Amino acid sequence: MAPALPAGPLEVLERIDIRSVSFPSEFRAAREYSEDPAWADFIDSRQSARFRTFCSAPIEVDGEMAGVVAAFFREEGRSGDAQGAQLGLWCNIAALALDRRRLHDRLAYRAQHDGLTGLPNRALLYESLDQEIERASRGRRLLGMLYLDLDGFKQINDTYGHAAGDAVLQEAARRMTQTVRRGDTVARIGGDEFVVLLPMLGRSEDARQVADKIVQELRKPIQSGHHWLSVSACAGVAIWPLDGDRPDSLLRFADAQMYGDKRRPLGDAPAESRDQPVASSLGKGEVP
């Protein structure tokens, strides 16, 4: 927005639906700038507005309107050729900048997300883990980490092909994401291995409960084409700061717990010594 434009028009322009803006080939009365009722109400209430006419041009990116460049003038009648050409130049520059920004955002997204499932990858997981550890430290709360992998995934790939394996991974990612809270993070760190971050926990046992829910969801058959495919999952749990105070140590602990879960005979329950409220786990009920 140009600094010379009064505060009243600025506030109204920010509320106007961009699809309501008109793009005449010549200068028109300011009232015709937009069909949005908010603009008409503003013009009717400001008979002594500082501008009388306008010209405008759309900013187009990938064949879609991404914005508007508009100029407002105090004079009633003007020749629009020079101003129209200048607006067109500004629109081209803006479109180029927006296109470069979109390309940057796409490349940044691909660098931090798994291409198959759309989940955060290992790089983004470590970045999120650092942030969540800092947040948990400030809030004096626990941070849970689940390390999961799928049992039977290799057999599905070998028997039904990679398309079926991809379908299993995508459905597993969807189920995990739907099982956890909105503020939790589900990441795929490679192959059939996933990590879930559970920030701001009140009790260490809450992480095990979430892990059990995810495991139950993943046991349900997954459809791929005409086949119903079955996998199971093992989960390891680590709690910050009880099981490690850095990302690497937490991942190693959760990974070890997950492999312990794999070796545990069917029907054996996990050890109960760690599934206690914060007060019992820490002795004084506080996170150091």
Helices (H) and strands (E) in the chain, counts: 9, 9
Nearest Cα residue to 21 out of 31, 7, 10, 8? 31
SS3 84: helix
Whether 105 sits among the annotated catalytic residues: the reply is no
- In 42-192, at which residue ranges do the beta strands (DSSP E only) sit? 53-61, 64-73, 142-151, 185-190
d(CA 86, CA 81): 9
The residue to which tokens 């070796």 are assigned: 263
Which residues touch 262 (CB under 8 Å, ≥6 apart)?
151, 234
Among 192, 243, 261, 275, the one annotated catalytic? 192
DSSP state of 34: B
Alpha helices by DSSP H, 113-161: 122-139, 153-160
Question: Catalytic positions, please?
Answer: 192
